[in-house]
């Protein structure tokens, strides 16, 4: 079968209106196998697994983004532009910059500060502020509250650097809640293409509290609160 895009072998119509997007391909596989009815693998180019199935009667999809803004920039662009996906919900992990956010708490990213130059491609005469979809954000916050899940809504930092020699904690002085590596590019793509996007994050480690960080296996299989919230608000 001919590839539809350079990075996605799925035929047109293979993805649902809403695609959940974890970074880890194994988390994508775990979600499909444990939350979907009749999951179908629709893309596996470069091992970035994409599945479509059914959740409580809704057709939904999940596909990994890989790590970093260049990766999610490619995958979300192709989903929005070539597959007519209307919403992408990133479900990822982050480091907390807030003393009130602990391991397994959630951050719903209203906005995404960044040290990336991703938005320079638009040649805007100023600084663009990447923000999430209010419709999805409000639904996610309501759903988290109904489940008694501890969460905060606010800014995150989308960084190009995992091993960073700069002082990431300086962002906390501006009320930034956590640091991750993808949301800003996703929000830029959604804005440019008139789509909806939201980033829901589980705190996997803390830069301000002395807490043991989660293992790769825990990040793959146990961050289910954000998965269930994302599935509940998918349309």
Active site residues: 205
Q: For residue 235, count other CB atoms closer than 10 A to its CB.
A: 13
Q: Would you tell me the crossing angle of helices 69-82 and 183-193 to the nearest 10 degrees?
A: 30
Q: For residue 186, count other CB atoms closer than 10 A to its CB.
A: 32
CA dist 220 and 218 (Å) reads 5
Residues whose CB falls within 8 Å of the CB of residue 38, separated by 6 or more in sequence, listed in order: 53, 54
Q: For residue 107, count other CB atoms closer than 10 A to its CB.
A: 28
DSSP string, 98-155: STT--TT-EEEEEEEEES--GGGGG--SS----B--HHHHHHHHHHHHHTT--EEEEE
Structure tokens at 166: 């700069």
Beta bridge partners of 149: none
């Amino acid at each position: 079968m001919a590839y539809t895009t350079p990075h996605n072998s799925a035929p047109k119509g293979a993805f649902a209106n809403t695609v959940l997007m974890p970074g880890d391909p194994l988390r994508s596989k775990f979600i499909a196998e444990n939350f979907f009815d009749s999951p179908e693998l629709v893309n596996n180019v470069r091992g970035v697994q994409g599945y479509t199935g059914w959740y409580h009667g809704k057709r939904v999809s999940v596909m990994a983004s890989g790590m970093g803004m260049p990766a999610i920039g490619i995958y979300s662009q192709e989903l929005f532009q070539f597959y007519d996906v209307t919403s992408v919900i990133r479900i990822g992990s982050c480091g907390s910059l807030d003393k009130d956010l602990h391991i397994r708490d959630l951050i719903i990213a209203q906005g995404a500060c960044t040290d990336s130059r991703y938005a320079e491609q638009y040649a805007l005469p100023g600084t663009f502020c990447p923000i999430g979809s209010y419709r999805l954000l409000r639904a996610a916050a309501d759903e988290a509250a109904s489940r008694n899940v501890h969460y905060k809504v606010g800014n995150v930092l989308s960084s190009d650097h995992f091993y960073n020699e700069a002082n990431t904690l300086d962002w906390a002085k501006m009320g930034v809640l956590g640091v991750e590596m993808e949301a800003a590019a996703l929000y830029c793509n959604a804005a440019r293409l008139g789509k909806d996007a939201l980033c829901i994050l589980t705190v996997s480690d803390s830069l301000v509290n002395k807490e043991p960080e989660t293992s790769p296996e825990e990040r793959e299989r146990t961050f289910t609160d954000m998965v269930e919230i994302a599935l509940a608000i998918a349309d």
